[in-house]
Amino acid sequence: QSPLTQPPSASGSPGQSVTISCTGTYSDVGGYNYVSWYQQYPGKAPKLIIYEVIKRPSGVPDRFSGSKSGNTASLTVSGLQAEDEADYYCSSYARNNNFFGTGTRVTVL
Amino acid sequence: EVQLVESGGGLVQPGGSLTLSCAASGFTFRNYEMNWVRQAPGKGLEWISYIRHGGTNIYYAASVKGRFTISRDDAKDSLYLQMSGLRAEDTAVYFCARDGFHYYGLDLWGQGTTVTVSS
């Protein structure tokens, strides 16, 4: 099994937007609208920020948005804030499996 | 408070066994599907196992299939992971995580418990 592919890093200045891609195959990302995104600070547990491609759990700012096209899902963080500096992981359901992405470190310049 | 608390981690020799526990509180545990996810030092997240409410469906990642066993005791609001044939590459922080209620996404995580496989 291979993890989903994410860029290792992304960055932006406060107030700017950053978009992270998550590339899989037709068997996972492309085959289901079951992509989720997680934010993780060092030494902490991950936190769900997007589920089912585009939905935000209660309490997650609307600066976080998700989308999908074909086998690639994306997370956009608009209006970057200092507290957005963290690791971000995508995840996709696949038949009887669940794959995580390789992770992206977002740096706020 | 709605929370998950893992326990049972520690140092174990290669080939050894260990059982992790995850205690749930603040929600109706029996209604939720549960997972184990791990993270090796300095690495990304890896999903390793899932159990449906009632234990009717169980799935494993290829990396642990045949060596790890997930189970749950709804009467005790607890999730378990029995690990055997442990290898150095199983060294990681192990998280239990709850599936969202009728939606896909891991919406509640424990703080993690550390397993170190070393001689």
Write the pLDDT tens digit of every residue in B44-66: 999 999 999 888 899 999 999 99
Q: Is the pLDDT higher at B19 or at B102?
A: B19
Contact across the interface for B47 and A97, Cβ inside 8 Å: yes
Contact (CB<8Å) B110/A55? no
Q: Say yes or no to pLDDT of B34 above 70.
A: yes
Give the ranges where chain B is alpha helix by DSSP (H). Answer: none
Q: Which of residues 64-103 of A touch B (CB under 8 A)?
A: 89, 91, 93, 96-103
Q: Pick from B17, B23, B104: which is nearest to B69 by CA?
A: B17
Task: Please report residues of B whose CB lies closer than 8 A to that of A98.
Answer: 35, 47, 50
| Helices vs strands, H then E, count in chain A | 0, 9
The mean pLDDT of A15-30, rounded to a whole number, is 96
3-state secondary structure of B54: helix
Query: Which chain A residues are Cβ-neighbours of B100 within 8 angstroms?
Result: 48, 51, 57
Residue-level pLDDT at B82: 98
Predicted pLDDT of residue A3 = 83
Using pLDDT thresholds of 50, 70 and 90, give the confidence band for residue A1: low
- Enumerate the residues of chain B whose CB falls inside 8 A of the CB of residue A103: 44-45
Cβ–Cβ below 8 Å for A36 and B35: no
Distance CA A69, CA A67 (A): 7
- The answer to whether the CB atoms of A100 and B44 lie below 8 A apart is yes
Confidence band of A26 (pLDDT split at 50, 70, 90): very high
Contact A102 B110 (CB under 8 A): no
Pairing verdict, β B113-117 and B34-39: unpaired
A58-105: per-residue pLDDT in tens? 999 999 999 999 999 999 999 999 999 999 999 999 888 899 999 999
Query: How confident is the model over B64-97, as pLDDT tens digits?
Result: 999 999 999 999 999 999 999 999 999 999 999 9
CA distance B42 to chain A (A): 10
